[in-house]
């Protein structure tokens, strides 16, 4: 254990300016840049100043929140200087992909920390945000842990950007000690990136209205991001359901609403009654709720998303979204055709873990239609997924699918029954053509059996 004098000596020796920290990045370096709101910001500004003097730098993130603009990208003169990789696409990842300098990293989220242990996958540097050092020499990582500890373990050097406005979070393996830091620089203390979901409307209320009645007292909840999870939280807050727990990949505002409505007790959580998550994204109110809140527990993703740990909690309820579903029950949450929009995230982790839980339920929620740029309305329940579309959840794993027209269970159902059920929750304008497509594919037959 370090003495106070040793800690202060290391502090003085390792404190550098932002420009000096950015100068540690060399040609060909592979750099891990963080999770969500923990992605570097001021260090990015500093790195962008010299990006065109560097060759072949690769920046890798778990997820970049949408309002963060990589100056390293906008200032770069081309891919020979910097390229990007992400395990979860957002708007900026898509913009960089369109510019030909960003690629997706396919993952099973619970496995992600192990990927960086594989020879050839290590990093030359980790550059992330953290809170100021405490008296024991520890830098708290705030509410964004994910796979950070593994990236640190598998990196040649660790560079921190210190931000006093990073919320202090209690948890598991959510800090780094000064002994393991190569250098750190004081940032400009930007506020945490807010993810403000659009207000939910009638569509979300209709979808949530088919899910909430199936949620029982004593359930453990995992919710995704967006208007629908917030709607589910609102409807649960108004319902008679009680004694809920929060155990989720991403902590969102809906859990704050449920806690303040007296719905969350934590009695059935796998971690001492705490609200467990691996990263957070939401409003300033949500970050303030998490700051130094001993009821909250942030932990590595291989802990949070572990299927057996999820399954150990009775009545686990998982709610995730997608882009499209076909009438076989295949779920596409990442791409439409070859066009990449999002990522696998922990959908499969929670789909499988929730179903394995006693009385557990997994829901995939999707609006029945979407409007194209040319104004045409198309069905999100399709005969087959468009050519090139990546399947996120295979048909064998899909449990419930919910639209504004209902929620149907696909487990144990034949291909014909699945088609019937999914067509029953498709938009009425598309049901007949879906039936006809099912007939053409041999799933749905109206002919009389005449023997072999």
Residue 363 — very low, low, confident or very high, per pLDDT cuts 50/70/90? Answer: very high
Q: Which whole number is the average pLDDT over 53-71?
A: 85
- Please give the pLDDT value at position 40: 92
The CA distance from 110 to 346, in Å, is 7
Please state which CATH number belongs to domain 202-440. Answer: 3.40.1080.20
Span of 53-62, 91-100, 101-110 with lowest mean pLDDT: 91-100
Q: CA–CA distance from 280 to each of 27, 70, 148, 275, 371 (Å)?
A: 33, 20, 14, 12, 30
Q: Which whole number is the average pLDDT over 62-90?
A: 86
| 325 pLDDT higher than 70 | yes
> Taking all residues of the chain, what is their mean pLDDT, rounded to a whole number?
94
Residue tagged active-site, from 204, 249, 334, 404: 249
Higher pLDDT, 66 or 295: 295
Query: What does the domain layout of the chain look like in residue ranges?
Result: 6-186, 202-440
- Please give the pLDDT value at position 444: 78
- Please give the pLDDT value at position 258: 95
Kindly state which CATH superfamily the domain 6-186 is placed in.
Glutaconate Coenzyme A-transferase (3.40.1080.10)
Residue 144 — very low, low, confident or very high, per pLDDT cuts 50/70/90? Answer: very high
Q: In the Cβ-directed half-sphere of 224, how many Cα atoms lie within 13 Å? A: 25
- Please give the pLDDT value at position 351: 97
- Please give the pLDDT value at position 452: 60
Within this chain, domains 6-186 and 202-440 share the same CATH topology:
yes
| 157 pLDDT higher than 80 | yes
| 259 pLDDT higher than 60 | yes
Span of 220-229, 280-289, 440-449 with lowest mean pLDDT: 440-449
The CA distance from 341 to 360, in Å, is 29
- Please give the pLDDT value at position 69: 64
Higher pLDDT, 228 or 315: 315
The CA distance from 145 to 205, in Å, is 32
**Strand, coil or helix: what is 420?**
helix
Percent of the residues in the chain that have a pLDDT greater than 90, as a whole number:
88
Residue 437 — very low, low, confident or very high, per pLDDT cuts 50/70/90? Answer: very high
Percent of the residues in the chain that have a pLDDT greater than 70, as a whole number:
98
- Please give the pLDDT value at position 445: 72
Q: Which two tokens mark 370?
A: 């979407």
| 448 pLDDT higher than 80 | no
| 31 pLDDT higher than 60 | yes
Q: Which whole number is the average pLDDT over 415-434?
A: 97
| 27 pLDDT higher than 80 | yes
pLDDT, tens digit (0-9, with 9 covering 90-100), for 374-414: 999 999 999 999 999 999 999 999 999 999 999 999 999 99
The CA distance from 88 to 105, in Å, is 8
Could you tell me if 102 and 61 are in contact, meaning their C-beta atoms sit under 8 angstroms apart?
A: no
- Please give the pLDDT value at position 91: 83
Higher pLDDT, 234 or 412: 412
| 449 pLDDT higher than 60 | no
249 is catalytic: yes
Rounded to the nearest 5°, which phi and psi values hold at 434?
-70, -40
The CA distance from 188 to 186, in Å, is 7
């Amino acid at each position: 254990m370090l003495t106070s004098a040793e800690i202060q000596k290391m502090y003085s020796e390792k404190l550098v300016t932002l420009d000096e920290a950015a100068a540690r990045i060399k040609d060909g370096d592979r750099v891990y840049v963080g999770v969500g709101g923990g992605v570097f910001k001021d260090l990015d500004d500093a790195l962008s100043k010299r990006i065109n003097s560097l060759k072949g730098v690769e920046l890798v993130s778990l997820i970049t929140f949408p309002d963060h603009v990589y100056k390293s990208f906008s200032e770069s003169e081309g891919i020979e200087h910097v390229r990007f990789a992400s395990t979860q696409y957002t708007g900026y990842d898509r913009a960089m992909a369109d510019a030909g300098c960003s690629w997706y990293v396919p993952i099973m989220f619970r496995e992600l920390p192990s990927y960086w242990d594989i020879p050839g996958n290590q990093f030359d540097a980790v550059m992330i945000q953290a809170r100021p050092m405490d008296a024991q020499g520890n830098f708290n990582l705030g509410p964004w842990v994910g796979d950070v500890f593994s990236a640190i373990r598998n990196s040649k050097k660790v560079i921190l950007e210190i931000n006093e406005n990073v919320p202090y979070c209690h948890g598991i393996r959510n800090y780094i000690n000064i002994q393991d830091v190569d250098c750190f620089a004081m940032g400009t203390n930007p506020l945490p990136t807010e993810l403000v979901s659009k207000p939910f409307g009638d569509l979300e209320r209709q979808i949530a209205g088919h899910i909430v009645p199936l949620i029982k007292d004593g359930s453990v909840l995992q919710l995704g991001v967006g208007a629908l999870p917030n709607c589910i939280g609102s409807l649960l807050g108004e319902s008679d359901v009680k004694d809920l727990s929060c155990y989720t990949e991403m902590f969102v505002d809906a859990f704050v609403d449920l806690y303040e409505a007296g719905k969350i007790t934590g009695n059935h959580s796998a971690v001492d009654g705490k609200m467990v998550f691996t990263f957070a994204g939401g409003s300033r109110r949500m970050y303030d709720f998490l700051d130094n809140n001993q009821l909250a527990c942030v932990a590595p993703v291989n802990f949070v998303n572990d299927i057996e740990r999820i399954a150990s909690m009775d009545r686990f309820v998982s709610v995730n979204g997608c882009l499209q579903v076909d009438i076989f029950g295949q779920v596409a949450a990442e791409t439409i055709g070859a066009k990449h929009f999002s990522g696998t995230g922990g959908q499969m982790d929670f789909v499988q873990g929730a179903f394995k839980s006693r009385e557990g339920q997994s829901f995939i929620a999707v609006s029945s239609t979407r409007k194209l740029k040319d104004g045409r309305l198309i069905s999100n329940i399709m005969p087959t997924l468009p050519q090139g579309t990546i399947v996120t959840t295979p048909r064998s794993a899909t449990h419930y699918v919910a639209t504004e027209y209902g929620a149907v269970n696909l487990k144990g159902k034949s291909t014909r029954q699945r088609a019937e059920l999914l067509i029953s929750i498709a938009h009425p304008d598309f049901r007949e053509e879906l039936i006809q497509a099912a007939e053409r594919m041999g799933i749905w037959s109206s002919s009389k059996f005449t023997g072999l």
